[in-house]
Structure 1
Amino acid sequence: MTEKNAPDGTKPRSRGPSRTSREDWIQIALDTLISDGVDSVKVLTLAEKLECARSSFYWFFKNRTDLLNALLDHWQSTNTKAVLDSTKRPAETINFALVQVYGIWVADGSFDTQLDFAIRDWARRSGSVRRALDLSDAARVDALSDMFERFGYLRSEAETRARITYFTQIGYDALDQRESMETRAARGRDYVYCITGVAPTEEELTALRNVVWRDVDT
């Protein structure tokens, strides 16, 4: 098979033993968005990081806007989806359900906190990203509200507890408390009780330790 030239007539340089892929461009763009902000997500900058020809970018994206849209899609399909999916997992009690939500933030890596903050910073500079963020936040809170309602809370109370759950976690991460896991684990019983209004059983606390603080001896 004959290798096609890039739009400018040149062949893309290889990066190491193989050529770059669309996923390579997205990953380096995500890394740059997180570390340096959206203004640094530029084709030339990314090409230099990938050690490839800038023209190879256009095999995968129409332009920079196309790439930025792909970053937003990635964020929605990872972070937002992780929250929504966690609220729908089977659970015997509201406390077990809450433990599963905490798991995606703290333990299993499906929610990228730094990416979420990068998107929030980007939203301060872009109206369209701000709208996407607002819709995402609303969807996350709605999903948490549905979770509480499923366990018998009135809708108004479910919505309030959902907002407390969500905004407490986002705020905790934003403030970068640098609280030790031992300290946070010691407060686990009270965290759960204050959010759900139901005193956790020893079985539920064990689940919390296993999912969120599994490496902490409490």
Structure 2
Amino acid sequence: MDTSDLSRPRLGEENWLAAAYDVLTASGVEAVKVMPLAKRLNVSRTSFYWHFKDREELLEAMVRRWEDKNTGNLAARAEAYAESIAEALFNVFDCWINPDLFDARLDLAIRNWARNDAALQARLDQADARREQAMKEMFLRFGYEPQDALVRAKAMIYTQIGYFSMQVAESTAYRISLMPGYIEVFSGKPPSQKDLARFLARHPDRHAPAS
């Protein structure tokens, strides 16, 4: 062991994952390597092996985090209780404005990585299928025909992937201001004021105050 590390606080697994996340989302998976990460964290590479067997184990941890956070939370929001399809859609829209629920940068990084990794592409396909099924079932709960529900679910997924891929730059307040229109586009029905008020109440610091 490098004794110079003994005088420094020992880094935890989260420190390494955070550093790997920063590199992955900024420069791609090829840039995620143990020695550069150690230099970034100002420790020797031996510190890494307290937490991970090798680089592949670190990358696997990143993928599992993406699966649990992005796909897991998106499916959970689609399955959450709602009194109307508009409220159900607003539940899903929570993911688009709350980074604690859904990490758009990580989603894009995973998609870029999967282009050159067949095994990861298979997991990405499974994740997209789970997201699609959750959204389709959301529409089915509110009486939409199966084919209609599927098309609407796909439209939502492809729209959001487009947002990530194009790296659309718009304020959260502006994005929220468009959401009632998106509700009508995706569901065929405008949201009620009650539905909108419930949604805005969950995000008091993210939208512009009503005039």
TM-score, length of structure 2 as denominator length: 0.89
Q: 1:190 to 1:115 in 2, by over 3 A?
A: same
Give unmatched runs, 5+ long, in structure 1: 1-8
Matched residue, 1:129: 120
Stretch of structure 1 that moved more, 165-174 or 116-125 = 165-174
Matched residue, 1:198: 189
Deviation of 1:79 after TM superposition, in Å, equals 0.9
Q: Tell me the amino acid that sits aligned with residue 56 of structure 1.
A: S
Choose which of 138, 154, 162 in structure 2 pairs with 1:147: 138
Q: 1:68 to 1:180 in 2, by over 3 A?
A: closer
Whether the aligned pair in 2 keeps the contact of 1:28 and 1:46 (CA below 8 Å) is yes
> Based on CA coordinates, which of the two structures has the bigger radius of gyration?
1
SS in 2 for 1:84: helix
Matched residue, 2:129: 138
Matched residue, 1:13: 5
Question: Where do residues 1-218 of structure 1 align in structure 2 (5 Å cutoff)?
Answer: 9-11=1-3, 13-14=5-6, 16=8, 18-107=9-98, 109-181=100-172, 183-211=174-202, 214-218=206-210
Share of identical aligned residues, percent? 35
Between Structure 1 and Structure 2, how many residues are aligned? Answer: 209
TM-score, length of structure 1 as denominator length: 0.87
Alignment partners' CA distance in 2, 1:140 and 1:166: 8
Whether the aligned pair in 2 keeps the contact of 1:79 and 1:116 (CA below 8 Å) is yes
Q: Tell me the amino acid that sits aligned with residue 93 of structure 2.
A: Y
Deviation of 1:165 after TM superposition, in Å, equals 1.2
Alignment partners' CA distance in 1, 2:37 and 2:171: 36
Alignment partners' CA distance in 1, 2:94 and 2:55: 34
Matched residue, 1:3: none
Deviation of 1:189 after TM superposition, in Å, equals 2.8
SS in 2 for 1:111: coil
Whether the aligned pair in 2 keeps the contact of 1:144 and 1:162 (CA below 8 Å) is yes
Alignment partners' CA distance in 1, 2:193 and 2:70: 30
RMSD: 2.1
Alignment partners' CA distance in 2, 1:210 and 1:174: 29
Deviation of 1:64 after TM superposition, in Å, equals 1.0
Alignment partners' CA distance in 1, 2:171 and 2:63: 32
Q: 1:129 to 1:11 in 2, by over 3 A?
A: farther
Whether the aligned pair in 2 keeps the contact of 1:12 and 1:55 (CA below 8 Å) is no
